[in-house]
Structure 1
Amino acid sequence: MSQKLFDRNPDLRRLREEGYAVRIRSGFLVMQVPYVDGKGEVRLGSLISSLTLAGDVTQRPDTHVVQWDGGYPCGKDGKEIEALRHGSGDFNLGSGLTAKFTFSCKPPEGYTDYHGKMTTYAGVIAGAAAVLKPELKLRSYAAPEPEETTVFNYTETASDRAGIGALADRLRNDRVVFIGLGGTGAYALDLVAKTPVPEIRLIDGDDFLTHNAFRAPGAASLDELRQV
């Protein structure tokens, strides 16, 4: 799924073509970036951005804020880069993806695409690392990680917007059975189908007739109702 996003979208594809170690995980865009920690040592952290998609096409980023997993980045003088500071905490984003900080770096015109957003932050964060270790390459041309296994036909970005990625993860290995798909069961099924549960079993011996259609979510066509 994520490889198709890189193939289809020029801003994402350009990041990989330019050698940035970038991937999509749990609906987030994640880039590996070198930085200098408080002890003056060069380390690697993860720059994380939410994704705004129309199907499989990227849109203008809906926020200039990013998340960061790693120590707080410092300049070559060992002082924390205050221009980035926004927030801190223990953020569980789901699928093993975590973050420690949120950063804010907003140009007056905002960001028009994800290439501009990610490279701007990477430049600020990795600047000191490039001075201390000139041989270190920000653009590592790292091989893309294996694609995530997903039950969805397109990238699920609702959980990261709502901040419930870790909660949704609890269903990732479950099996759900619905016995009866009347008014309550049909609506519950519609909700569960939007979670990462890998298997849903449906048990209902009734025919799907007109009165059922008026109790179910969505709108069945006449052709579907005629197929009794």
Structure 2
Amino acid sequence: MSLELINRNSDLQQLQNEGYEVEFFNIYLMIHHVPYVNDKKQVAYGTLVSKSSILESSVKPADHTTLWIGDFPCDCKGSRLLKLGDNSVQEKIRDGLVATRMFSQKPKTSSAAYANYHEKMTTYVRMLEGEARVIDPNVTAKTFLPIQPTKEESVFHYLDTASTRAGITLINDKLKQDRIAIVGLGGTGSYILDFMAKTPVGEIHLFDGDKFYNHNAFRSPGAPTYDELLNNTTKVEWFTEIYSRMRRNIIPHPQIIDETNIGDLDSMDFVFYVWIKENQGNYW
């Protein structure tokens, strides 16, 4: 799903932050992995679908109906949930997904319409999930499934849902074009990297000429194995490999910055200079 669409629509943000598997395709808003009970009194999983005009912020749904991909849902005793309606349809959502049922459940308020798509979709989820939980109390539609953005959408390999939950997405966006450098990856620089790697800065450049030795394992974030310590790798290679699992654009420079190459930092927007000058014990 487009991150731009999520960021400008509070309904989608709320559904995603609560852990639902949300997809928006064409005119269809979907929630996957919704637990329900089939006619064999077994817990199964289906997909709720609502035709939607979601473009900008929260909007009121045009109607109260939803489409359903899955078997006809039942109550915990295996009897059909006829209160949802019994309307058969054949509507192709996208390749591999065809809705076969239409549900009709009006909100339990004086209003004839749902206030927003979060209220609408979660109302249906609760009805289906509630019967499934009688059989298995641990089932849930809230899977918190990781989402993969494209390279153009994010520097991260999976969606940063922490920022949306904290409401700091717009603040974080100010960092996207920044190029930062961390000079020295010891007991201070390595922890700065750990924090900076989880922000959307455009590039992180690592400068350190030392190897990653046994003692470094006890003053850095993470937990290398014994075998990994035998690889005789440099600090910048080690940390680049670790944090590149989470994000793109970490650039290693196996060298320390001194008077001869300090010009390499001219293109940076911000520099963390935390290298201890050898034999003098002071911070540059």
TM beyond 0.5: yes
- TM-score, with length taken from structure 2: 0.48
Find out whether 1:42 has 2:21 as its counterpart. Answer: no
Partner of 1:142: 145
Cα shift at 1:142:
1.6
| Residues 114-143 of structure 1: per-residue CA shift (max 9 Å, x gap) | 100000000001111111111222311122
Count of aligned residue pairs for this structure pair: 146
Partner of 1:67: 67
Cα shift at 1:41:
1.0
Of the two, which has the highest radius of gyration? Answer: 2
Distance 1:57 1:96 in 2: 29
1:120 aligned to which of 103, 120, 123? 123
Partner of 1:111: 114
Distance 1:71 1:145 in 2: 29
Distance 1:123 1:139 in 2: 11
> What are the within-5 Å matches in structure 2 for residues 57-206 of structure 1?
57-107=57-107, 108-109=110-111, 110-144=113-147
Kept after mapping to 2: 8 A contact 1:51/1:58? no
Determine helix, strand or coil for the equivalent of 1:15: helix
Kept after mapping to 2: 8 A contact 1:59/1:113? yes
Determine helix, strand or coil for the equivalent of 1:125: helix
Distance 1:39 1:146 in 2: 38
Kept after mapping to 2: 8 A contact 1:92/1:99? yes
Residue 53 of structure 2 aligns with an amino acid whose one-letter code is T
Q: RMSD value over aligned CA atoms?
A: 1.8
Distance 2:148 2:50 in 1: 17
Do the aligned partners of residues 140 and 94 (structure 1) sit closer, same or farther apart at CA in structure 2, a change above 3 Å counting?
closer
Kept after mapping to 1: 8 A contact 2:11/2:57? no
Do the aligned partners of residues 75 and 26 (structure 1) sit closer, same or farther apart at CA in structure 2, a change above 3 Å counting?
same
Distance 1:76 1:96 in 2: 28
Cα shift at 1:79:
0.5
Do the aligned partners of residues 114 and 39 (structure 1) sit closer, same or farther apart at CA in structure 2, a change above 3 Å counting?
same
Distance 1:102 1:129 in 2: 20
Residue 47 of structure 1 aligns with an amino acid whose one-letter code is L
Unaligned runs of 5+ in 1: 148-228
Distance 1:143 1:100 in 2: 28
Cα shift at 1:145:
6.1
Partner of 2:193: none
Partner of 2:173: none
- TM-score, with length taken from structure 1: 0.59
Do the aligned partners of residues 39 and 136 (structure 1) sit closer, same or farther apart at CA in structure 2, a change above 3 Å counting?
same
| Residues 42-78 of structure 1: per-residue CA shift (max 9 Å, x gap) | 111000001113x444421001110000001111111
Residue 114 of structure 2 aligns with an amino acid whose one-letter code is Y
Greater RCO (CA < 8 Å, at least 6 residues apart): 1
Cα shift at 1:8:
1.1
| Residues 160-205 of structure 1: per-residue CA shift (max 9 Å, x gap) | xxxxxxxxxxxxxxxxxxxxxxxxxxxxxxxxxxxxxxxxxxxxxx
Kept after mapping to 2: 8 A contact 1:23/1:145? no
Cα shift at 1:4:
1.6
